[in-house]
Amino acid sequence: MADFGVFDKAKQVREQAAAKAAELKEHASARAVQLKESVATTASDVSSSLAAKAGDVKETLATAAADARDASAIKIKEAIDEFNATLLILREAGYKVGEVDIAIGLPPKISASVVASDAVTDEHIARVLEEHQSKKLTTLVLNALYQAWRLQSAIQIVGMKPRGMSIEFGLIPSVTIKFIG
């Protein structure tokens, strides 16, 4: 009979172990469902938060772009007004302005093709500079054009002749001298 007691005891331990395993399985399954729901909720919350942030960023960028367009339009108008005032004095000094290009941006750039007429002389330029000495940008541009014209007249490139100049109005005006073959 002692042998049956050991078997009964083993059977009882086996049943307890099976019950405990089933209990642990059920607990693990329930915990897995809880974790899955928690991860899904967290993912949904993060997704909603990111979508809201993306909307905020998009709105901020749209506002900044509109502000930049407005600022650009104002700067272009200011640059054209300043260019027109300078243009009158360049013509007075004896320069003929041909083609004008406007690059729209921050800051805007205006460039113009310029040719010196026979009226451009040391004396004439000195007189025009003196008359408009209070207009700093204009005198800077006129001096730069005159120096470029003098340089262009003084140098020779084999097989080429002077073709005029180009001036760019920007933060720092620049003059380009041109030759044609």
Q: Evaluate the omega torsion of the peptide bond into residue 107 and state whether it is cis, within 30 degrees of 0.
A: yes
Question: Do the domain assignments include residue 99?
Answer: yes
Question: Do the domain assignments include residue 56?
Answer: no
Does the pLDDT at position 70 exceed 80? no
How high is the pLDDT of residue 3? 62
**Per-residue DSSP letters for 118-149?**
TT--HHHHHHHHHHTTT-HHHHHHHHHHHHHH
pLDDT, the chain, mean: 85
Question: Do the domain assignments include residue 65?
Answer: no
Range of the domain at 103: 76-180
Question: Do the domain assignments include residue 51?
Answer: no
Does the pLDDT at position 170 exceed 80? no
The span from the CA of 167 to the CA of 151, in Å, is 15
Encode pLDDT of 105-159 as tens digits. Answer: 777 789 999 999 988 899 999 999 999 999 888 898 999 999 999 999 899 999 9
Q: What is the pTM of this model?
A: 0.57
